[in-house]
Amino acid sequence: MRIAILGGTGDIGEGLAVRFAADTSHTIVVGSRDASKAADRAGTYESRLANHGIERTIEHADNTAATSNADIVVLAIPPRYIGDTIEALAERDVLTDQLLISPAVGMRGNESGLHFNPPSLGSVTELVAERAPTSTAIAGAFHNLAADRLADLDADLDVDTLVVANDEEVRKQVIDLINELAGIRALSAGPLENAAEVESVTPLVINIARYNDDMYDVGVRFT
C-alpha cells in the first residue's frame, strides 16, 4: 500500500515514517505544505535508516500530491490545521477512497502541565469525520505514543495503541496495519464516539513523564 503521512516532517509524522519504512514494505510518502521541506526530511529519514542497515526509499510531495494516489493518509498535523487541510483536499478532489487516520490530540498547557482540550465535537478524530467527505473511511490511532521514542530506531518498543472507527472492517484494517510495526500492539476501542476517551490519555502520559524524573517517553500498555 501507499501510506501518505501528511505532516511527515513533524514529531509524530517522523516517528511513523521511519517505523513504517523500517518494519514494513509499504511505500511511504512524506507530505508537507512545503514540498521542498518534505524532500529534505525524506532524505534525512533515508540516511537514518541506512545507518541502521535499512536501505529504503521514502517518497515526498506536497500534501495534495501525497494524498492523491495514497491508499492510507495519516493526518500527523496540528489539530488547529486539520479541518482546513481536509476541506482543502476535498475541494481539490483528491480525497476519494483513501482511509484517513488521525493521531492528533487537542491539548493546552499551563504551569501545571498539559490538559485535554478537544474541539466542540468532542475529539479531533470526530472533527476529521465531520469535515471529510461522507464516503471517506475515518479511523483514530497512534494517539498515546511517545513521538521521540517512536522516531528512535535504537529504542525497542513495547506499547499499545488504541484504534477507533465506526466500521468494524476499518478498525480491523488499521489494527492489522499497526501490528506490522515491531513492538506496537493495536487494540480496538470501538467507534469514533469513544475517541475522546482515547485522546484524553495523551496529556496524562506526558504529565507523568514530566513529574517523574526516572520516566521518559512514557507509553501505555494494557494488561
| Other residues' Cβ atoms within 10 Å of the Cβ of residue 54 | 14
What are the residues whose beta carbons fall under 8 Å from the beta carbon of 153, sequence distance 6 or more?
18, 19, 22, 48, 49, 52
Give me the residues paired with residue 222 across strands. Answer: none
pTM of the model: 0.95
d(CA 197, CA 176): 22
**Residue position matching grid coordinates 511527515:** 8
What is the model's pLDDT at position 38? 96
Q: Would you give per-residue pLDDT tens digits along the chain (223 residues)?
A: 999 999 999 999 999 999 999 999 999 999 999 999 999 999 999 999 999 999 999 999 999 999 999 999 999 999 999 999 999 999 999 998 899 999 999 999 999 999 999 999 999 999 999 999 988 999 999 999 999 999 999 999 999 999 999 999 999 999 999 999 999 999 999 999 999 999 999 999 999 999 998 888 889 999 9
Task: Answer whether 79's CB lies under 8 Å from 106's CB.
Answer: yes
What is the model's pLDDT at position 13? 96
What are the residues whose beta carbons fall under 8 Å from the beta carbon of 103, sequence distance 6 or more?
12, 16, 74, 75, 76, 140, 141, 142, 143, 145
Amino acid 132 reads A
d(CA 188, CA 104): 17
d(CA 159, CA 147): 12
